[in-house]
Chains A and B, each alone.
Chain A
Amino acid sequence: MKHTIPEQSAVVPELETRGMHLATGQLKTFFPILQKGVMVPATVGCTLKSLLCDQLAIPTDYVTDRITTIFVNNRPVDDLEGTIIQDGSRVTLSAAMPGLVGATMRRGGYYAALRQGISHIVERGAATSQRGTIRLKLFNLLLAEIGPLILAHGLILEQDELIELLELSPVRAARPAAGSGRVLLTVICNE
């Protein structure tokens, strides 16, 4: 089956799509790549909050209360609404972290001054909405909690990455033939 990511995409070419079903207990197979970062198709030019809530379907109160540490392009973010996601943005999500520096990285936290100079700076101005990709990382508690949402949304993997992943995992899917090019992998977690 071929899947085409919408017409206006100048960034994401036509991709082969693969589907997979996964028992919840097998989810940890994906933790290493989610932790290292995966390419995810997205409509970019939107706010960070829109990306998380509207596109990745993460509940708003979860984003507000649980995802307390966010980086965009290695910069800690304080303002979900003022941060615009661009094509190729690197977005990293984490739960609350220990330590002074953990508290310092917290979104809008009391100790944010301690990281002055690396904080994400809000840029005002109109953004153009278009199809593209982001690089998404999940850390710690979020791996198990919202990993299924990300997997259901779909990951773009190199064929070799997919083969390597499937060889490590007990998941039910046909092994693709080795080759170059990318695939869109969609994974549904079953109870």
Chain B
Amino acid sequence: MDKIARIDMGAAGGPKVTVGDLGEYAGLGGRAMTSLVVAAEVHPLAHPLGAENKLVISPGMLSGTTGSMTGRLSVGCKSPLTGTIKESNAGGQAAQVLARLGYAAVILEGKPVGDDLYKIIINKDGIQVIVDNSLKLMDNYPLVEKLRGEYGDKVAYMTIGSAGERKLLAASIACTDPELRPTRHCGRGGVGAVMGAKRVKAIIIDDAGMKMRPPKDPEKYRDANRKFVEGLRKHPVTGEGLPAYGTNVLTNVLNEAGGYPTYNFKDGQFPGSAKLSGEAQAQLEIDRGGTATHGCHRGCVIQCSGIYNDKDGHYLTKQPEYETVWSHGGHCGIDDLDTVAMLDFLDDNIGVDTIEMGVTIGVAMDAGVIEFGDKAGAIRLVEEVQQGTPLGRILGSGAAITGKVFGVERVPVVKDQALPAYDPRAVQGIGVTYATTTQGADHTAGYAIATNILKVGGDVDPLKTEGQIELSRNLQIATAAIDSTGMCLFIAFAIMDQPETFQALLDMLGSFHGITMTGDDVVALGKKVLSAERDFNTRAGFTKHHDRLPRFFYNEPVAPHNQTFMMKDEELDEVFNW
């Protein structure tokens, strides 16, 4: 990965491609690349849908290699949903293929005049930008099917559905999985709307004729990868729990803990949770001839996904994730997996973030647009988004906008981004991350549970109150670093518990790039990324007063623990003091 492609979509005479060396961005990948480019090159007060914004697409530092779990792709920009800097990442094949073509980043700049829609073809011969108005308002599944007819099955596709083209704030960018289904989404923050604003409908990435990226020390890299895979396979979470049940295994546990937000955050437990559980979902998938164990990209050994078939045994969607099952399930008072799966398919097809869409429907239910538990009504609302009706455009713009339009007081957002599936009144520590992350409410912003072994911030006493602030800070640093490697965040479980697996990861990074890496280097990278993101947000007008949860979390106790969010503002303000 020794080059960056810049595509000026607004250039006089039509889009112009410039390929250059890495310059000051040498050695970066993933979130480090996207955030440092956006922080340095995008005016913080730019309109997110305007020509001044940039959409930065970057594979991770180890993507395109023979290394396992290296297939995450980062997309960054100024978010139209939050107004902050944004990094959103996904699995699928795109990162591996783009990296093998040698691109550390592809940056979409400017904005075309006129109504033409473009597709971008990236292959070993270079980059072409072609007008293709036949793709207008196509949704992701039929869109990819049409493109496959032209470009075949040995490529990766990144696409936006009708939501992205309409520049809806919940719009995502889909990346195809190994079966070329558009199921892996850079979902959060409206990155699909930015791609839509650039009038780019599809990016076709073809690595024919290219080889795996070669490590500097092949033998050491191969050995480190072998140990890394062994570590993942022997750990009970990455080797057993996730492959058997996927992330939805969390439904039962969160419900039991009273941290499962239900009926738009009015309750912490859902009576129908057992019907939505990962255990029930996996059994249903197997009974219907699907599978509960499936990888989202080649080279994945965890295989936390699956295939969800309908009652007749036909493919409906990929295995819905925990957050999706929650947002469309318990949050909306819906206890039916088939309804959730249909909503997951619609979200992927239209191209919207499943968390934002599900939370928005729950807010609309709270407003009385439909009743909680109305399965057909929930599907109808997402179809409104697909059709681009006035109501659909409101809903597709997310929970904050929908709450304002319908006068709802209980709107679970931070920096206008919907909260994920963990109630911060029950799990106070995750509320610290929701409130303070640079990204708007995001559970994955502080997800890399490897801070103990990284020794980020030194040892923390988990029994002290201030531990929550320190832990959130350390988690956010570690996550920013892992998001830059292109590794799936789920590797963190094995890293946390098995020092030899963490060492294997360091050895993979080191032997690939011909350097010696330590935990301190990883921490330094994480801090560098977060500092750049915080600085951008400050220049964009964000202050400590935006690092807060909505007031209802402080005022409304939630059952069964009858707790409110109790972290003090002054404590939240300490998160980024390092």
Of B332-340, B456-464, B569-577, the one touching chain A: B456-464
> B369 — which chain A residues lie within 8 A by C-beta?
none
> B278 — which chain A residues lie within 8 A by C-beta?
140
Q: Are B252 and A114 in contact (CB under 8 A)?
A: no
Q: Which chain B residues (418-461) contact chain A, with CB distance < 8 Å? A: 422, 426-430, 443, 446-447, 449, 451-452, 460-461
Given the known inter-chain contacts A100-B449, A115-B427, please indicate yes or no for A94 contacting B252, CB distance below 8 A: yes
Q: Are A96 and B236 in contact (CB under 8 A)?
A: yes
B244 within 8 A of A: yes
B157 within 8 A of A: no
The secondary structure that dominates the A interface is: mixed
B471 within 8 A of A: yes
Q: Are B241 and A118 in contact (CB under 8 A)?
A: no
Given the known inter-chain contacts A35-B279, A104-B430, A115-B426, please indicate yes or no for A97 contacting B253, CB distance below 8 A: yes
How far apart are the CA atoms of A116 and B253 in the complex, in Å? 16
From the candidates A114, A137, A143, name the one contacting B471 in the complex (CB within 8 A).
Answer: A114
Quote the shortest CB–CB distance from B185 to chain A (angstroms): 18
Residue ID in chain B nearest A140 by CB atoms: B249
How far apart are the CA atoms of A75 and B566 in the complex, in Å? 18
Q: Which chain B residues (258-297) contact chain A, with CB distance < 8 Å? A: 258-259, 269, 274, 277-280, 283
Task: Mark contacts of A90-115 with chain B using CB atoms, 8 A cut-off: 1 yes-contact digit, 0 otherwise.
Answer: 00101111111111110001111111
From the candidates A32, A68, A75, A112, name the one contacting B274 in the complex (CB within 8 A).
Answer: A32
From the candidates B256, B443, B462, B464, name the one contacting A110 in the complex (CB within 8 A).
Answer: B462
How far apart are the CA atoms of A96 and B240 in the complex, in Å? 10
Q: Are A140 and B465 in contact (CB under 8 A)?
A: no
Quote the shortest CB–CB distance from B492 to chain A (angstroms): 8
Given the known inter-chain contacts A74-B258, A103-B493, please indicate yes or no for A114 contacting B249, CB distance below 8 A: no
Given the known inter-chain contacts A104-B429, A139-B253, please indicate yes or no for A97 contacting B449, CB distance below 8 A: no
> A36 — which chain B residues lie within 8 A by C-beta?
274
The secondary structure that dominates the B interface is: helix
How far apart are the CA atoms of A189 and B254 in the complex, in Å? 30
Q: Give the size range of B's interface with the partner.
A: 35 or more
Residue ID in chain B nearest A109 by CB atoms: B462
> A71 — which chain B residues lie within 8 A by C-beta?
256-257
Q: Are A35 and B240 in contact (CB under 8 A)?
A: no
> B498 — which chain A residues lie within 8 A by C-beta?
none
> A99 — which chain B residues lie within 8 A by C-beta?
247, 250, 322, 443, 447
From the candidates A32, A111, A113, A117, name the one contacting B449 in the complex (CB within 8 A).
Answer: A111
Q: Give the size range of A's interface with the partner.
A: 35 or more
B560 within 8 A of A: yes
Q: Which chain A residues (115-165) contact chain B, with CB distance < 8 Å? A: 115-118, 137, 139-141, 143
B367 within 8 A of A: no
From the candidates B253, B452, B472, B561, name the one contacting A117 in the complex (CB within 8 A).
Answer: B561
Given the known inter-chain contacts A74-B561, A110-B496, please indicate yes or no for A101 contacting B244, CB distance below 8 A: no
> A118 — which chain B residues lie within 8 A by C-beta?
257-259, 426-427, 561, 563
Residue ID in chain B nearest A28 by CB atoms: B283
B237 within 8 A of A: yes
> B465 — which chain A residues lie within 8 A by C-beta?
113, 116
Quote the shortest CB–CB distance from A79 to chain B (angstroms): 12
How far apart are the CA atoms of A69 and B256 in the complex, in Å? 11
Quote the shortest CB–CB distance from A7 to chain B (angstroms): 34
Quote the shortest CB–CB distance from B324 to chain A (angstroms): 14
B28 within 8 A of A: no
Q: Are B279 and A111 in contact (CB under 8 A)?
A: no
From the candidates A28, A111, A112, A139, name the one contacting B252 in the complex (CB within 8 A).
Answer: A139
> A96 — which chain B residues lie within 8 A by C-beta?
236-237, 241, 493
> A101 — which chain B residues lie within 8 A by C-beta?
250, 253-254, 257, 259, 422, 427, 430, 443
A45 within 8 A of B: no
> B322 — which chain A residues lie within 8 A by C-beta?
99
How far apart are the CA atoms of A117 and B428 in the complex, in Å? 8
Since A98-B241, A101-B430, A116-B465 are in contact, a sample of 19 more A-B pairs with Cβ atoms closer than 8 Å, ordered by chain A residue number, is: A35-B274, A66-B236, A69-B253, A75-B561, A94-B252, A98-B249, A98-B304, A99-B250, A104-B430, A110-B449, A111-B429, A113-B467, A113-B471, A114-B471, A115-B428, A118-B563, A139-B277, A140-B241, A141-B236
Provide 15 A-B residue pairs closer than 8 Å at the C-beta atoms, listed in order of the A residue.
A66-B236, A96-B236, A100-B430, A101-B430, A103-B496, A105-B253, A110-B451, A111-B462, A111-B471, A113-B463, A113-B465, A113-B468, A116-B429, A139-B252, A140-B278
B residues contacting A by CB (< 8 A) are: 236-237, 240-242, 244-245, 247, 249-250, 252-254, 256-259, 269, 274, 277-280, 283, 304, 322, 422, 426-430, 443, 446-447, 449, 451-452, 460-465, 467-468, 471-472, 475, 490, 493, 496, 560-561, 563, 566
